[in-house]
Chains A and B, each alone.
Chain A
């Protein structure tokens, strides 16, 4: 338990106060690791099914931007109303699937085969980090959490500035550039996104240890899903940059 004294995650969905006021009553059951794993699996299947459908259905391609916006709104609902996770986490997964399917199709047209590589790399990273976490090779110490939290915040700030600059037909070159600095930046973002998975594992373990209520299983699954989607998109971007130099 001492490992979790000051819980800190770079993932905005998994903030330190999440479990503080969430104690389970005896009637509703408690959060378990198995339950969270099952709900993560269900959410991932929904994302994959929705993405596959959007990929092969041309009518869905125009929904990429609206689905990104609705996805953001649903994410906010999940953050502020975790008790409704059983409705809004699957909804978030389905909507994000539409966005990911369309984006992936566009990338695959530009660089054939890139999506399969990105999917395998994402799940490969998840598996490797899960093993590293279970073996104790990587521990979510307080300094580790602080470092990842700061780096994630820095990246989010940079992306926000880039988003605002986009309205003035400008942007931060390093984010989209395929030169050496651009690739190093993308690789750094991939590493930070991957290390966020460790914080998510720690967060879920903390919830199960503290006996958080059953509905927090959906919340834990949601946090992991957010990180996995971010990691996939960053790997896709990095692969696109590397392929564009060939």
Chain B
């Protein structure tokens, strides 16, 4: 392999992605979305 350090990044990336996924799921369960789009009233 050209750069053996790449192998060591794989578990770090996997853990990060799984953590982010878990955080997204958690916030979904609480009913608190990350982004809230509100209706814009006329002349607001």
Contact = CB atoms under 8 A, between A and B. Distances in A.
Contact of A121 (B8, B18, B20, B23): B8
A135 B23 contact: yes
Nearest to A242: B4
Interface residues of B, number: 17
B4 A129 contact: no
Contact of A238 (B8, B9, B18): B8
A235 interface: yes
The prevalent SS among residues of A at the interface is helix
Contact of A239 (B4, B16, B22): B4
A129 B15 contact: yes
A243 B4 contact: yes
Interface residues of A, number: 20
B contacts with A: majority SS: helix
A201 B17 CA distance: 20
Contacts, number: 50
B18 A137 contact: yes
A124 interface: yes
Contacts of A135: 19-20, 22-23, 26
A128 B8 contact: no
Interface in A110-124: 117, 121, 124
Q: In the A-B complex, list the 6 residue pairs whose CB atoms are closest, starting with the nearest.
A: A242-B4, A135-B19, A131-B19, A117-B5, A135-B22, A128-B15
A132 B16 CA distance: 7
Interface of A: 117, 121, 124-125, 127-129, 131-132, 134-137, 190, 235, 238-239, 242-243, 246
Nearest to A187: B8
Contacts of B19: 128, 131-132, 134-135, 137
A92 to B, nearest CB: 27
